[in-house]
Chain A
Amino acid sequence: DQQVKQNSPSLSVQEGRISILNCDYTNSMFDYFLWYKKYPAEGPTFLISISSIKDKNEDGRFTVFLNKSAKHLSLHIVPSQPGDSAVYFCAARVPLAGGTSYGKLTFGQGTILTVHP
């Protein structure tokens, strides 16, 4: 049962335009959502996150939107740069015993973003 889904395996965007990566989830217990970027032969790098009590969080070129009623998460990158080309994973946390400091992350399958010069 895939609780976090990224339905687009790949996305191709022109440099300078907006990249929109999407993620859907099914588990109502998720309380914290994250986006990671992964280059080949490296571990995932944390990009941006959002708590379930918010609907938007911005950090520079990156904005994450959360629509709880639709159980949908998206990452906007504006403007896109060739260095943004990587695999992007969305992840969602279910808190474990002990409070919101802990939690296991459930990941989507990833979306390969290619930004063309």
Chain B
Amino acid sequence: DAGVTQSPTHLIKTRGQQVTLRCSPISGHKSVSWYQQVLGQGPQFIFQYYEKEERGRGNFPDRFSARQFPNYSSELNVNALLLGDSALYLCASSRVGTVNQPQHFGDGTRLSIL
């Protein structure tokens, strides 16, 4: 079975631009979460979605938004990019309906802001 897939792999943007990152979950997984990882730190939670509804949001500004589609794939949008948004953006998917399911991660999108 295919794992979590993210696109693009790498992206270079300039300050003030907008970016859209995409994620396809593992088949059968209905929940998708987004995390930001900066160098030397662990991933930080941004959003979790299930059944197209936002279930949780981390401490990120309103420039960050996301959505989930009927096929459970997801997009993360970041507006008005800042230099500090340079990071690895990770998507994770998990099953729901069963207690204590781990989140499985994709390989991420490396976003560089110039």
Contacts and interface: CB of A to CB of B under 8 A. Distances in A.
Interface in A5-40: 32, 34, 36
A112 to B, nearest CB: 11
Contact of A43 (B41, B101, B106): B106
Interface string A41-53: 1111110010100
Interface residues of A, number: 28
Contacts of B35: 105
A36 B33 CA distance: 16
Given A104-B33, A109-B41, A46 B101 contact: no
Secondary structure class of chain B's binding surface, majority of residues: loop
Interface residues of B, number: 32
Contacts of A44: 43, 90, 105
B56 interface: yes
B30 to A, nearest CB: 9
Contacts of A106: 45
A103 B101 CA distance: 10
B48 A108 contact: no
A20 B32 CA distance: 31
A117 interface: no
Contact of A46 (B41, B102, B106): B102
B103 to A, nearest CB: 6
A8 B13 CA distance: 35
A43 B103 contact: no
B42 interface: yes
A101 B42 contact: no
Contacts of B99: 100-101
Contacts of B41: 109-110
A104 B44 CA distance: 9
Interface of A: 4, 32, 34, 36, 41-46, 49, 51, 89, 91, 96-98, 100-110
20 contacts: A36-B105, A42-B107, A43-B105, A44-B43, A44-B105, A45-B105, A46-B103, A46-B104, A46-B105, A49-B100, A101-B94, A101-B101, A102-B31, A102-B50, A104-B33, A104-B45, A104-B56, A105-B45, A107-B44, A109-B42
